[in-house]
Amino acid sequence: MGLATASVAAMNTARHSEKLIDVNVNLSRWPLRRVRYDDTAALVAMLRSLGVAKAWTGSFDALLHKDSSAVNTWLSGECRRHGHGLLVPFGSINPKSPDWEEDLRRCAEEHRMPGIRLHPNYHGYKLDDPDFVRLLKLAVERGLVVQLALLMEDERMMHPVLRVEVVDTGPLAHVVKQTPGLRLILLNALGKLHAQPLLNLIAAGEVYVEISMLEGVGGIANLLAQVPVNRVLLGSYAPLFYFESALLKLKESPLSEAHLKALRHENAQRLLGNHF
Amino acid sequence: MIEIWDLHCHLSGVTGNTPEGRLAKLLEFADRMGIARLCIFMGMEWSYDPSPEKIRQENDEVLRALRHFPDRVLGFVYLNPKHTQASLDELNRCVRDGPMVGVKLWVAQHCNAPELDPLIARATELKAVVFQHTWLKVTGNLPGESTPMELAELAARHPQATIICGHSGGDWERGLRAIRPHKNVYADLGGGDPTAGFTEVAVRELGPERVLYGSDVGGRSFASQLAKVIGADISESAKRLILGENLKRLLQPICKQKGIRL
């Protein structure tokens, strides 16, 4: 076994005592490419083999399908059929779609989802949109965690007919302050969101970030020098990203055992509480 | 045990006030990831279109850093093809007369321009490998930023040169196709997101002998870039080649000439 391969395997040996909660996984197919684990059973097997106990899961279908109710029903069923509870579904809501409130109700009441996932740039709204603000308030009323994806791929290499802008977080801190009780996780954010704008959002309310797009050498250590550890979550963005990226980031930075536990599972577990 | 060599490292994006301080910091992280050797190029602050004086300053910073870690780090000389004679002088100073083993070309000049020819010819005489940054951006390239297709033109003019396609063009599904016919061109995996499938496609289209692990630290992490190889659905022998053996093979002639032990 090679050195680098061994380093991943060594981390895996801790999986029984140090389970991982990955808050950024997607099912179905990336619209522009087949990827290795876009089959749910294979994805579950891979995640389990690398120590993942829970994966908070959306669907790539949510980006372009107009029938979000069908997307969420399929997602819920797929999470039930595979993994014996490993996959935790986060349904998609498009607040610019007619009668989206019913989609929200179905996510909460019928599918018993603990949260929802939003894609403002694919669904065509800004973060000061009144419908978005109202969606956040209704999510709070239903006790749902909200995941907000800032981008889904590097905008430099998007397909020329499928280009979308990175979500502008400018209005978000204000919206968060106006939405007491909101629990908001920013997905795929740390490639674009840094320094004061990031700190402003973290300070605005109960806002979390995950590490899938965190870059820079010693990235997690650098992040924790600015952001409280209890606001940082493990996210892989599998299967579009190699899952090992997230795992190896935990190794690259020198982190205390307490911080590692917080990142591996404690922070996420605290967020969903009785769903575990 | 796989010996990992990182093709693509920088002194920017790292904490530290001196070149050797930054390199020491990089090596701390490299040690945590089990990386044996680093190739570094460009200085502590970059310029898209550097003057001869700026090029010399950046190369001096790399030379200074190299002196502190000669057994762990190799250097590539940074050149600007717009300043042909100054670049040839710098190539001689840093490679012929100095410890460096490769050439770095960035975004000053499109790489299919004739100004590159004397630099590539001289680098080839010296057995130095040539690393050319490339990207294919739907958002638009920088004014002098090369594409993999332009690199293919350069490679066709210099079949004896050893040329590395930096970032595999970023848009790797197109970039890898552009360099595929040119056997003297190698794919650098570094610098983009750890998108699943990149390494598998590179191995499928080029063969594992033409694929090189590089990270592009400090702007990127070792972790995300190593994951492209460790997480790929390729054989263990292919991983071994990509993580170190290929780069060692490419650098062996110039290192042997210089008495650098690999």
Each residue's pLDDT tens digit, A141-198? 999 999 999 999 999 999 999 999 999 999 999 999 999 999 999 999 999 999 999 9
Please give the DSSP secondary-structure letter assigned to residue A229: G
Domain count, chain B: 1
pLDDT averaged over chain A? Answer: 94
What confidence tens digit (pLDDT) does each residue in B121-162 have?
999 999 999 999 999 999 999 999 999 999 999 999 999 999
Candidates A100, A144, A95, A102; CA nearest to A123 is A95
Task: Search chain B and give the residue with CA nearest A245.
Answer: B224
Please determine, for residue A11, whether its predicted confidence score (pLDDT) is greater than 90.
no
What confidence tier does A10 reach under pLDDT thresholds 50, 70, 90?
A: very low
Chain B residues within 8 A of A33 when measuring between CB atoms: 173, 197
**Which structural domain range is residue A140 located in?**
3-275
What confidence tens digit (pLDDT) does each residue in A98-125 have?
999 999 999 999 999 999 999 999 999 9
Chain A residues within 8 A of B196 when measuring between CB atoms: 35-37, 238-242
Chain A residues within 8 A of B243 when measuring between CB atoms: 2, 4
> What pLDDT is recorded for position A2?
42
In this prediction, the residues of chain B whose per-residue pLDDT falls under 50 are none
Query: Quick one: average pLDDT of A64-82?
Result: 98
Domain count, chain A: 1
CA A27 – CA A41 distance, rounded (Å): 10
Please determine, for residue A274, whether its predicted confidence score (pLDDT) is greater than 80.
no
CA A268 – CA A64 distance, rounded (Å): 28
Residue B137 touches partner A, C-beta closer than 8 Å = yes
Nearest CB neighbour to A35, from listed B173, B197, B229: B197
> What pLDDT is recorded for position B261?
87
Query: Which carries the bigger pLDDT value, residue A16 or residue B60?
Result: B60
Contact A158 B138 (CB under 8 A): yes
Model ipTM over 0.95: yes
The DSSP H or E segment spanning A132 is helix A130-141
CA B128 – CA B93 distance, rounded (Å): 13
> What pLDDT is recorded for position A135?
98
Please determine, for residue A81, whether its predicted confidence score (pLDDT) is greater than 50.
yes
> What pLDDT is recorded for position B1?
81
What confidence tier does A230 reach under pLDDT thresholds 50, 70, 90?
A: very high
What confidence tier does A6 reach under pLDDT thresholds 50, 70, 90?
A: very low
Residue B232 touches partner A, C-beta closer than 8 Å = yes
Candidates A150, A158, A216, A224; CA nearest to A187 is A150
- CATH code (residue B181): 3.20.20.140
Query: What is the maximal distance between C-alpha atoms in chain B?
Result: 46
> What pLDDT is recorded for position A232?
98
> What pLDDT is recorded for position A14?
43
What confidence tier does A275 reach under pLDDT thresholds 50, 70, 90?
A: low
**Which structural domain range is residue B117 located in?**
4-258
Interface of B with A in 178-207 (CB under 8 A): 192-197, 200
Query: Quick one: average pLDDT of A90-99?
Result: 98
Token output for A113: 């989802």
- CATH code (residue A193): 3.20.20.140
Do the strands A52-59 and B163-166 form a parallel or antiparallel pair, or are they unpaired? unpaired
Three-state DSSP class for B211? strand
Do the strands B211-212 and B129-133 form a parallel or antiparallel pair, or are they unpaired? unpaired
Q: What phi, psi does A183 have (nearest 5°)?
A: -115, 110
> What pLDDT is recorded for position A273?
82
Interface of B with A in 78-97 (CB under 8 A): none
